[in-house]
Structures are given as structure tokens and as C-alpha cells.
Amino acid sequence: MSQERMRKSPGRHGRAVLAVVCAAAAAVVWGFVLLGASVAVLLLNPKDTVPYAVRLASPGARVDVERFEVVAAWPLAVEVQGMRVRGEDGAELFSVERSTIETDPAAGWTHGLWIRRMELHGPRAVIHSTPAGDGGATGVGAAWEPDALRGLFFYKEISCVDGSFTIRSGSRTVEVRDLSFRLKPENGPVGAERADPTLRTAALAAEVRGIEDGKIVAEAHIRGDGEIRADRFAMEIHAENSRVDMAMPSFVLAGELGAHADVVLTPETLEISRFVMEFIPSAELQKQMGHEEINQEQVNVSDSIHFAFGGRLFLDTNSYELSTLEAELPGILSVQGNAAGSLDALPSVAVLSAEAPSLGRVLELARRHVPALESVQVGDGGASATLRLDDAQASLKLRTEGAVFEYGANGARVAGRSAAIDASLSPRSAVDAFVREKGSREDLELAGNLVAVVDAAALGWAVERAELYMPLAGTLEEPAVTNATVRLPARSLFKDGKAVQAGATAVLCDAAWTGEALEVSRLEVDAEGVGTILGHGAWSPASEKETSIEFSGTNLRVAELSRIVDSVAAVGVAAWSPSGTLDVAGEVGLNGPDPAYQVQVSGRSMAFASEDGENLGEKVAWSLDASGTMKDAIGFDATLTLSAGQLLLSRFFLDAGANPVRVNASGRFTGESVLGLDLKASMDGVGRTSYNGRLGLGGSGGVSYDGALVVASDALGELYVKGVEEPFASDLPVLADYAVSGSINLDVQVQGRGGDARAAGMLTLSRAGFEFSATGLMAKDVEIRLPVAYGREPLAGSTQGAVRIGSAQSPFGAVDDLILTLVYSDGALRVAEDVSLPVLGGSLHVSDIAVENPYSPEFVVTCRAQLERARFEELDLGGMQVQGHIAGDLGELRLTRERLDIPGALGGSFFGGALAVHDMAVVDPLAGNRRILATIGIEKLDLEPLSEATGIGRITGRLDLVVEDLVVAYGQPAAFTLTAISRKVSGVDQNISLKAVNSITVLGTGSSIGDAGVGVFGSFFKEFSYGEIGVQLSLHNDVFRVRGLIEEGGVEYLIKKPPLFGINVINRTPGKRVSFSDMLERLSRITAGGAGPETQTEFGASGMSDETQGD
């Protein structure tokens, strides 16, 4: 570690572990030993002064001695006191309180070194280490020459007592105190030859302390034993009773330390055959390391941190061999390795293996230094890794066993397990250059693969057991993957916790990072049972760059897709049993500030059937073309086309081949609403509609809307057939009797939510025609402008409309060029003019026409009506001539959905009798089963013209007739009570023909009379007198009852003869019930002239038998 880095990062890099402190201290201590010996040579052996002085200090260093005293004359012994060595800048480098030196003249004559014994008392050395870059000196030294230690072997004995030295750097200090050492000959006297020195033993003891900001943060007791030769220094060093207590950025490093080192130094090599360090963390530190329940008594060697290495440093070649490297944090991490190479480069060869039995504990420790790891979780399990360096490449292999990595942030979660990485960087020269910060990432070739099993979750989606295989290629600057694969097992994808019903899916990818963008040249999604989607694209983190993806798929099977859609959105598509195939293509891209998309989807030969059978489709062909932008809101412009096939949607049938459908919609989707929606839909040959405005999708009560709605058609007849007649004809057969033509345009502003709507605008019909074949009602050349206001006031300028009818025809009359003005005011639509319509040669005058709530189910129509002399002769009843007329004031009519009330009355004549109609009303007037109510009375009805008109036989006389409780439904009587009583009028005969008698008999009894029924007179007389007629005919619940109103002697007469001569018609079965169909059959027999019960009617019913007549 450079001193510059120590200065810049004092909190982390400057706090060395005590092992490093001890090793450095040992080296400095022995440097001090050699320094002391050199001082002695400097003083007493002038021949060796220069080389030792050069090793001692920088040029310009100065030596001062306070006192020099000769202690003994022979052999010479001296004592030096107060010796100080100062550097060039005057700073004191070394001092000694007292030094005693004894000479050996005999030895001096032999090899030039006269010192037998030297004792150093209180030597002191202070070293100031100035960080690099501050302009200060960083220390001076010299290379060790092969003969550098030889001079020490000519001292008989050297010892040191109470020595110390201090190294200071900034706020940090390393102190060595109580230093003592001894050098002593091992094997007797000094040899005679200079080149054959005597082996010496070396002993060392000292106390080493590390101080920071005045506080002792580390201390150790060092002792060493070894040997010194002229070309070899060997030492066994022990650190004992050591401790460390340093405050780190996120925890306190505290505990006990023990170390042992075997060091051999030669001119060529520094060999550390064994260096072992054991660190026993304090109880507090062990808790921080994951041992939550521990006390100091439980701490033992097995809980210690172990570190060991061995190897050699080749000083002459500046290279090394690291034969062994071991490190272990019990239960957390163990490391082993070896390496060899040059000191100024990466190892030429190296192998470093690591195993972590508990990745969770490793991650827990790492979080203290890397806060970003707080989002990462690791479950149980371990990992192993191997880093290799050789001549060709650098490679890394990583395996996890049972470990689950989990990352969660911003609501997303990714978990991986069974992960394995096998990667390499080459060539080796580029690796070395990159590490030395002289190379480029572009020169590093990447190879290998990544394998893992992944679980992930985000935005309600989740995937489990996804198998990831990623081959690595390219360079470190531009990495790439080829045939990268993600395999999803069946039903391994989830939406909101529910499994998506998708089969096994494989995603294959070729991609490369270009330095600015991720280029995906191939993306392939192969879903089992569905098909394959292909794509390619690019992604750039820079917003100004283009990011896009294009995709396409053909023959995607709809049945399997529907099951997937249902399991995601629960819309019930699969229940419709769809079949067929889809083609899809699209592009999503970032071109400028707004992301954009474009997609085309088409279906061929599609079919579907809902579970209830109300919705069917066969051979349907359709397409969807959509595009838009995606930023704050999703902009869209989509067109849906139905071009072929037949569809039944509830009641509505569509032949898309004959009437293709096209729908276009554009707008902006914000999540809860659609803004600026422009919707246009058309059906060829039928009509078109459009909506322009806003849709709200949030909140309760359904969709809200506010915009302009237009419905238009130039083929009103086809619109009526497709939209009204065909869907509802089964319920209302009468719809088939209507025919319409012309064009329609509805233009309204609509607002509301769900069914609570408000609308205002104009409805226009042009060149319209109407025909109701069942009644003969017909209108042509109809023009209508109808103001529309539903739930709100009409739009400004849209309060007035008009109706123009070019011509109209009905059974009651005809009208030409009828023009009406419509005005909407005060919540009601009013007709400005009075209307006069021709009716049967007379006229119907209608005034004050108003419709309140005209477009609501609660509408009310009111008007006043008066009928002027309508003539019954104008009626076309198939040859039957009706005589009479009718007129009257109908009063103020009131029409609602439930009822039409007619408070007035009508009067006139009917076949010479006085006609009166009152109590008129219609119940459910707009329904097919509407009921018409009325009471009809006729006084003095002339039977002769009536009988002639009906053809039932001649009857003369007068009759009072009352029809009460009349109900007409579906065009036929549903209920009534008819009472007919003859009235004698002076001068009017009361005669009845045999044919008429027979008709009345058939009507009353169902049987005709024969010759036996009228006796002998029947062969002579064809007409008889009658005295009274009294008949009551009632209909209720589809059953007729015929009663005679003349009773005498327990006999019920329909016709009673005069006292002298005539004919009786007797009701032999009073209260007899006759079904409605039988009564119609009887009427048909009478009007057709039939007599026998076997006579057939146009309804196909025969005359009633005795059995069917009932009681």
C-alpha cells in the first residue's frame, strides 16, 4: 500500500492488521541490529567506514559524539556516550546513550576487525515517514551485496539493552520498546580466513505497539531466535501476548493475535518457508460476525481466524514464488492458493480457490461495508470459486450449492440458485496491461458461460424455476452472448399468484453490447402448443439513442392462447372454444423523447361458440393494425377489420363477407380514462357511427363518457333489417310487416356513466319511406328533423325541427305534402301546427300535440282530437257494405308507455241505429299484446239492411245492442259482453227467414236445423214472425257463452214467437261454453252459407259435435 493511499484513506487502508505490524516490526528491529553493528564499524574500523556509512544515511549525514573515553588500555576498551546521527535536514536519525566496545588485537591483526565485544545501552531511532506527494523524503536504503553481512562475523559478541525506535506517519505511530538482542559466536574462535566466518546465533526480544491519535490500538511481544552467516540470515520469529483494538468504519476490530514466521534472507532470496497467524476475535466482534450467543469463555482456537503462507522472493530478479497461501474465517470463508511471477506485474501463474460454507454470513459481513447490498438476501447454502492465471488467460469458476440469492427493490424481486459461472479473459498480455491501467477493455476477449435457476417477480408477475444458460463471448468492452437460453417449465409463470396456463416455453437470444447500446440480433420465444415468435432489437441507456424491438409470429394457435389469456385476465375466452390461427408482427421503439409502438394482428379461419350457444362464429377473418406512443399516457391509433366469416352475436347476425366491418379508434390511455378518443365504425352497405370525446374507466357505476356521437346510414332499410327485424322478429313477428327506406343521421352530444346517460342533438331522416303491410299504412318522401334532448336541455340552435310527409296512405284515407314544425321547450317536444287528417271521408283534427320527456321511457304524449263525420261506407271490408257514420270529441288524449287514455266519446249511426262509443282506452299501447278497451251501444239498429249486408238471412225489425267491457288484443277480441234485445217500433214488421233462423241456431247451438225442425210449415213458409229476440254473448278467457234472455216455463228462448203464429229458437243447453276457435268456425259457416255441423271453415275446424258442445 502506498503512503499516498494511506494518507488519503486513513480510516480503512492505513489500519493494518496486527500481523503486518509484527512482521514490519521484526524487520525494523533487525535493521536496527545491523545499524548498530555498522555504527561500531564506523567508529573503530576506518577501512569499512564508507560502505557502512552509505547504508546508514543519506549523503550529507552527520555523526556527533558527546564523550569518548578509553576504559582500558590493553586490550583496548572504549566507551562512547551521547552519539547521534543526523540526516541531511538535521533531523535525528539515531542515538545511543552509552556504548562499550572491547577490542581484540590478535583478531585485528588477522582480519582487520579488532572488536571482541560491543554493548549498546538505550539506543534510540526515530523514523518520520512522509506520505508520497508531500515533497518529503521517504527513507534511504541500498541493495544488499553478497558480502553485506560478513563484517558482523568478526565481532566476538554484540548485545543491546533497552533499545527502542519509532516510526511516525501522520497521526499513526509504531513503537518498538524494550528492545534487546544478542549476537554471539556459535562454534568457538574466529576462523583464520576472512572468507570463512564463524556461525553466530541471534536472539531478539521487543515490545511493539501501534498508536493512533494517542491511543494504543495494537501491541505485541516479539521474540526471535536464528542464525547469521556471511551470506545468509535465518530467523524464527514469534509474536506473543498480542492484541488489537482498532475502530473500523462499520465495526471494531478487536481480539488476540498469535504469529509465527520462519524467515531466511540471502543476497539472492527472501524465503518465508512458513508464516502462520491466528487471530481470536473478541466476543463483541464474534457477535458482529454472526455468533449472536457467545461469551468470552467460549472463545477457543477453533473460532480463530487463520492465515498462513510460504514462498520465496528473488531479490536479484525481482520475482517471487508463493508456494502456499491459506486463510480461513471459521464458518465463513476459506482460501487456498499459490502463485509465481514478477513483483511489477500480475502473477504469471496463479491458482486461488475459495469456499464459503455460508453465503448468508458472508453477505451479512459485506453489508457493513457496501450499503447497496441491503437489497440482496442469501438463503442457506455455500459457494466455491477458483481464479486461475496462466500464460494464455485469466479464468474464474464459481459454483453455488443450495444457496439462493435474492434481490429486491422497487417492488421487484429476483432470486437465483444453482448458479455457476465459468468465464475467462484473454490474451494474457491484455489482462496484464488492463490491470496496470495501460490497456483497454477492447483488447480483453471474453469467453465462458453462466448457468442458474432463477425466480423473479415484478408488477404482479412472477416466474419460478426458470433455467438460465448464457454463453459469454465478445470483449470486456463489448460483451456478447450467443444462443443464450431461458427455459420455463409448464405453468411456471404466475399472475397475481395464479399460475398461467402456459406450456413449457424457451426463450433464445443472441445479443451484444456495442459500448453504447445492447444489440439483440435474435430473440426467439417458442411456447409449447402456441407457436414461435421471432424478434430483434436494441436498447440504449442514453435517452437520445434509439431503442427498439421488432417481433413477429405466424400460425399462432388461438385455442392455446385463449387458455393463457383466461388464466391471466379471467375474461372467459376459453369458454367460447375459439379455434384458428393468428399472425402477429410489431415494433416498439424509442425515437426521441417518446417511446412508440406499432403492431399488426390478423386471424384466419377462426371459429368460436359461447357456452350458451348465443354467440357463434365460423370462418372469421379479421385484422388489427395499431400504433402509438408510450410516455405519461399510451397514445393509440388502431384499426380493426372483419373481412370474412359469419357471426351470430346474441340476436344480431353478421355476414362479414357481405358486410365487412371496420373500426378505427385513436386517443390517449392514461390508466383510468381515454382522452381525445376518436372512434369511427362502419359496416359496408348498412351504416356508420363515430364518437369523439372522453371515456372514463375508473370508479363505480360503469364507464363514463362525454363526447359527440354520430350514427348515420344511407341504407335505412338495411339498417332496420340488420338491427331490428332480424334480431327481434322471433319475439315480434309483426316486425316483418314493416319496411323502411331512406337515410338517417343522429348527431348528439352525450354525457353520463353506464346507463345513466344524457344526450342532446338532432335526429334527421331523409328521403325516408315507411310501409306496414298488415294495415296498408304507407308513407313516402318523408323528411324529419327531430330535436333530441334526453336528461338535459337541447343544444343551442337545436330546439326546432320539422316533419314533412310527401304522401301517406292508410285504410282510412290519404294525405299529401304534410308539413309540421317541431319545437323543443321546457322539457317537451311540441308540434306548432294543428293537424287535420282525412278519415273515411271525414277528418280527424288534432291540436296541442306535446311530448314530455320524449326520449325517456317515462314519456307522456298529450293532444286534443276531434273526429268529424267519418263514413262507414268508406271502409273496405271485402264486399260487405257498412252503413252509417261516426264523429265526436275525443277530448285530451294522454299516451304513456303503459296506457292511452281517451276521455271523450264518439257518436253516429250504424245501420239506422244510434251509435255511441265511450270508455275508450288502450293498455300497453306499444306492446304487441296491447289491449283496446271500449263500450259500444247501438239503439234501434235496423236489422234488415244489417242482415242483407252480412248475408245471414233476412231479418226485419229493430234491435238495441250494447257491447260492454270490450278488450281487443292482437287484432282480435279478447273479452266482451254483447247484449242484443229487439225493440218494437210502430209500422216495422218483425219477421225472420228460415235461413236467418238457421244462422242463429248455428251460432247458439253449433247445429243447424233440418225440415223436421220446423215441422210441416217449413215446407210452405220461408219466413216467420217473431215476437222477441233476446241474446247475450260473452267472451272471457278464450271461452264464449251464449244465453237466451227470454225465459218462460223454465225454457230459455233466443227468439220467441208471437202468440198466434211464428217460430221459437230455444237454447237447449243454457250456460253452454264454446271455445273461441269453435265460435269463429260457426261464424264462418254462417257467412259462408253452410248449414251442417260438418261444414268446414277457412280455419280448418269442423262443426261442433254433441261431445264438444259441453254442458
- In the chain, the N- to C-terminal Cα span, in Å, equals 128
Which of 790, 805, 833 is at the close of a domain?
833
pLDDT of residue 685: 92
The pLDDT of 647-663, averaged and rounded, is: 92
Which of 833, 866, 890 is at the close of a domain?
833
pTM for the complete prediction?
Answer: 0.63
pLDDT of residue 197: 54
| Alpha helix stretches (DSSP H) within 570-694 | none
pLDDT of residue 743: 95
Interval 24-58: pLDDT, tens: 444 444 444 444 444 444 344 333 333 333 334 44
State the residue range of the domain holding 467: 331-359+373-488
| Alpha helix stretches (DSSP H) within 225-376 | 283-288, 359-367
For residue 403, which of 358, 338, 444, 350 has the smallest C-alpha distance?
358
Interval 449-490: pLDDT, tens: 999 888 888 878 888 888 999 999 999 889 999 999 999 999
pLDDT of residue 187: 56
Q: pLDDT-derived band of residue 422, with 50, 70 and 90 as boundaries?
A: very high
pLDDT of residue 960: 94
> Is the pLDDT assigned to residue 570 strictly greater than 90?
no
Same domain, 256 and 335: no
pLDDT of residue 1019: 52
CB 412 within 8 A of CB 384: no
Same domain, 88 and 167: yes
In a domain, 53, yes or no: yes
pLDDT of residue 107: 64
Same domain, 718 and 823: yes
CB 464 within 8 A of CB 495: no
CB 926 within 8 A of CB 909: no
Q: How far apart are CA 272 and CA 261, in angstroms?
A: 7
Same domain, 352 and 434: yes
Interval 656-686: pLDDT, tens: 999 999 999 999 988 788 999 999 999 999 9
Interval 1009-1053: pLDDT, tens: 654 444 444 555 678 889 999 999 899 888 888 888 999 888 988
550 CB-near residues (< 8 Å, 6+ apart): 535, 536, 537, 585, 586, 587
> Is the pLDDT assigned to residue 236 strictly greater than 80?
yes
Same domain, 344 and 228: no
For residue 218, which of 257, 249, 179 has the smallest C-alpha distance?
257
Q: pLDDT-derived band of residue 949, with 50, 70 and 90 as boundaries?
A: confident
In a domain, 565, yes or no: no
The pLDDT of 755-778, averaged and rounded, is: 86
Number of structural domains, the chain? 4
Q: What angle do CA 494, 498, 501 make, to 5 degrees?
A: 70
- The DSSP call for residue 632 is S
Q: pLDDT-derived band of residue 19, with 50, 70 and 90 as boundaries?
A: very low
Q: What is the mean pLDDT of the chain?
A: 80
Side-chain-side CA neighbours of residue 466 (13 Å): 21
The pLDDT of 62-87, averaged and rounded, is: 85
- Which contiguous run of DSSP H or E holds residue 1029? strand 1028-1036
Share of the chain above pLDDT 70, in %: 82
For residue 382, which of 418, 329, 421 has the smallest C-alpha distance?
418
Q: How far apart are CA 853 and CA 291, in angstroms?
A: 83
Q: How far apart are CA 80 and CA 103, in angstroms?
A: 14
- Residue scoring higher pLDDT (1082 or 817): 817
Q: How far apart are CA 922 and CA 930, in angstroms?
A: 7
- Which contiguous run of DSSP H or E holds residue 582? strand 579-590
Same domain, 171 and 255: yes
In a domain, 1078, yes or no: yes
Q: How far apart are CA 450 and CA 153, in angstroms?
A: 62
What b/e sequence results for 391-408 when a residue is b if at least 16 CB atoms lie within 10 Å of its CB, and e otherwise? Answer: eebbbebbbbbebbbbee
> Is the pLDDT assigned to residue 2 strictly greater than 80?
no
Q: pLDDT-derived band of residue 251, with 50, 70 and 90 as boundaries?
A: low
Interval 282-337: pLDDT, tens: 766 666 555 544 343 333 334 678 889 899 988 888 899 999 999 888 778 899 99
Q: How far apart are CA 865 and CA 170, in angstroms?
A: 117
> Is the pLDDT assigned to residue 110 strictly greater than 70?
no
Q: What angle do CA 916, 918, 922 make, to 5 degrees?
A: 135
Interval 137-191: pLDDT, tens: 443 333 444 455 556 666 678 888 988 888 887 778 888 888 888 887 765 444 4
pLDDT of residue 299: 35
In a domain, 70, yes or no: yes
pLDDT of residue 150: 57
Interval 714-753: pLDDT, tens: 999 999 998 888 888 887 777 788 899 999 999 999 998 8
> Is the pLDDT assigned to residue 1099 strictly greater than 50?
no
In a domain, 962, yes or no: yes
Poorest-pLDDT segment among 100-104, 199-203, 831-835: 199-203
Same domain, 253 and 339: no
Same domain, 135 and 16: yes
- Residue scoring higher pLDDT (301 or 810): 810
Interval 880-925: pLDDT, tens: 888 999 999 999 999 998 999 999 999 999 999 999 999 999 998 8
Q: Which amino acid is at 768?
A: A
Burial class (CB in 10 A: 0-12, 13-18, 19+), 302: exposed
Interval 861-883: pLDDT, tens: 999 999 999 998 888 777 788 89
Same domain, 335 and 480: yes
> Is the pLDDT assigned to residue 276 strictly greater than 70?
yes
Q: How far apart are CA 390 and CA 392, in angstroms?
A: 5
Q: How far apart are CA 308 and CA 23, in angstroms?
A: 13
Which of 798, 833, 868 is at the close of a domain?
833
- Residue scoring higher pLDDT (1073 or 706): 706
Q: Which amino acid is at 4?
A: E
Give residue 293's region: left, alpha or beta (phi > 0; psi -120 to 50).
Answer: beta
pLDDT of residue 190: 45
What is the SS3 assignment for 584?
strand
Same domain, 337 and 236: no
Question: What are the φ and ψ backbone dihedral angles of 791, each rounded to 5 degrees?
Answer: 75, 5
Same domain, 108 and 242: yes
In a domain, 124, yes or no: yes
pLDDT of residue 1089: 55
Q: How far apart are CA 34 and CA 1075, in angstroms?
A: 143
pLDDT of residue 302: 45
CB 661 within 8 A of CB 685: no
- 1031 beta partners: 980, 1044
Same domain, 944 and 1066: yes
- Residue scoring higher pLDDT (593 or 788): 788
Poorest-pLDDT segment among 55-59, 135-139, 1106-1110: 1106-1110
In a domain, 956, yes or no: yes
In a domain, 424, yes or no: yes
